[in-house]
Amino acid sequence: MAQINPPKTLTAPRTNDLREDALTTSASRGTEFFEDHRNAIIGVIIGIVVLAVAVIAWRAWQANRSAEGQRLLGAILTEYEAGNWQTALDGTDTAPGLLEIADDYGSTATGEQATFFAADALYQLGDMDRALEMFEDYDGEGLMAASAIAGQAAIAEDRGDAERAANLYEQAAAEYASPASTPGYLLDAARAHRAAGDTDAAQAALTQIIDEWDTAPEQRTALVELGEVQAEATATGTPTGDVTAAPVVVDTTEAPETTVTVPVPVQE
């Protein structure tokens, strides 16, 4: 009887072999892709390298330019600090003025600082239109940003727009929270609110100083002014804000007659 041999066991491909085949296939395809797009790929690589070098060079140039701008700004600020407003704006024989620096350095930190100081110098000279324009153009942050808003508020107050001034002072107080500036701006806001006849808003500003800035020297002033505002709010003689004056009562009681003695000249 013939012997039947058992079937041979099928051997599954090993995992390592599959991985090697996949890597070989990927490498082959990658080589083919590179050969087909050699020029484009080399162009992209060169472009990336050029861009990186350009960014590094631009940053170095900006750093050098910023340092030079700060040196020029520092030189002309001596005139500003001395109160020589026009000279600070126009410059001297050895240093450009604030207006030129603000124009040349644009939106850089140096340019923004020059814009702020130029706005204040114009305000000091009474050129309110140009000062307002430059205060509004200032795009910095921190204490100077709050001061620029307060500058706009001061101009509005000078022009008799108490309501706008009050709102801007409150915006300045909120822009940069600091014991060196916020309580003072809130006092300014309260003053402007009182001028606009809004006693409720004035009380709110003063109360904020008392509650949130109890160690500030402005607190004593705020306490005094709060008492004044509360008295104004409850007064009946003169309307303040929403307070209505009481009707005037005419006293019809006749005053007693008064006898006036006229001296008679004595004839000699």
| Residue 168 CB neighbour total at 10 angstroms | 25
Scan for tokens 């003695």, then name that residue.
261
Among 245, 238, 237, 211, residue whose Cα is nearest residue 226: 211
pLDDT digits over 43-66, tens only?
Answer: 666 666 655 655 555 455 455 566
Q: Where are the domains of the chain?
A: 39-140
pLDDT at 153: 98
Q: What is the DSSP string of 11-72?
A: PPPPHHHHHHHHHHHHHHHHHHHHHHTHHHHHHHHHHHHHHHHHHHHHHHHHHHHHHHHHHH
pTM above 0.75, yes or no: no
Among 66, 146, 163, 67, residue whose Cα is nearest residue 107: 66
**Of the CATH numbers 3.30.460, 1.25.40, 1.10.287, 1.10.405, which one belongs to the domain with range 39-140?**
1.25.40
In this prediction, residues 67-74 reach a mean pLDDT of 89
Q: How far apart are the C-alpha atoms of 124 and 86, rounded to whole Å? A: 10
Q: How many CA atoms lie within 13 A of 32 on its CB side?
A: 6
pLDDT digits over 157-184, tens only?
Answer: 999 999 999 999 999 999 999 999 999 9
Structure tokens at 75: 């030189």
